[in-house]
Copies of this chain bind each other. A is one copy, B any other.
């Protein structure tokens, strides 16, 4: 089944302790749709300026991503610039130039409004709510967020949480939003805010999936070299959402998504994130082959089975 993906498209400048790269193909919706494209067809909702490289637009098209919800407007595409330190776990944003993104208030194409699976990739919760308002009867809504929105748009984020099925959030954000240090307790507190399911991402330590009376501890793929963590969380959400959409075949069904399918979705999300960090920008993610995904699934299975 099909997936709606809302998020940002950006040109990223990324610095690590080793290297700096300028104007990389980036944005939360870019990583999420590229990742989801290995599993299902995505319908993109985003905005770019007329300076956006044609090559990247072509990439979306070749991946069978529906661009009828993509606005291309005169002006400059959103730019982000940041730096990673030490063990790649600490990030500092150097600059955020919203450009055309500043006036983004998407109106969904009619065909989008009936889509069953929704990924609200990391973007302001006001925009996430604005898109949710236009949907008729979504079957499963996933939302990602970040510390920025916890700090400057907490009220909207709290409102959003009441209307989604799964929240994807990283460990420090979970602690910040719940004011609870213990992640097991934080997971329960986040579920109490609304979403039936919560994923807490722990970077190199894998992630937790919390459900009603259910819990899954997903390992991380053991990587010796992390080139650039940018987009890992978005590729995770995209892989998760894409797998879920492609493995829920009851059309028009409001049958609840089961925990076992969600567990697999979390594993596939983790696999896509593990590829993402192996290169600067989405290069490695873009070049992944289906058999590599399956190989890595086997590796995940092997490293955690006992």
Contact = CB atoms under 8 A, between A and B. Distances in A.
Interface in A197-217: 202, 204-206, 208, 215-217
Nearest to A204: B183
Nearest to A223: B184
A185 to B, nearest CB: 5
Contacts of A252: none
B306 A267 contact: yes
A138 interface: no
B264 A306 contact: yes
Contacts of A251: none
Given A264-B306, A305-B305, A215 B222 contact: yes
A260 B184 CA distance: 29
Contacts of A219: 217, 219, 304
Interface string A67-96: 000000000000000000011000000000
A217, A219, A263, A303 pick with most chain B CB within 10 angstroms: A217
A301 interface: yes
Contacts of A260: 306
A224 interface: yes
A200 B183 CA distance: 21
Interface size class of A (residues with CB under 8 A): 20 to 34
Contact of A184 (B86, B202, B222): B222
Interface in A168-213: 181-185, 202, 204-206, 208
Taking chain A's interface residues, is the majority helix, strand, or loop, or is none over half, making it mixed? mixed
Contacts of A183: 204
A217 B206 contact: yes
A182 to B, nearest CB: 6
A207 to B, nearest CB: 11
Interface string A206-249: 10100000011111101111100000000000000000000000
Given A202-B205, A205-B202, A205-B205, A215 B303 contact: yes
B306 A182 contact: no
Nearest to A267: B306
Contact of A303 (B86, B217, B301): B217
Contacts of A222: 184, 208, 215, 217
Contacts of A306: 216, 218, 260, 263-264, 267, 300-301, 304
Contacts of A205: 202, 205-206
Interface of A: 86-87, 181-185, 202, 204-206, 208, 215-220, 222-226, 260, 263-264, 267, 300-301, 303-306
19 contacts: A86-B181, A182-B223, A183-B204, A184-B222, A184-B223, A202-B205, A206-B217, A215-B303, A216-B303, A216-B304, A216-B306, A217-B219, A217-B220, A219-B219, A219-B304, A260-B306, A263-B306, A267-B306, A304-B304
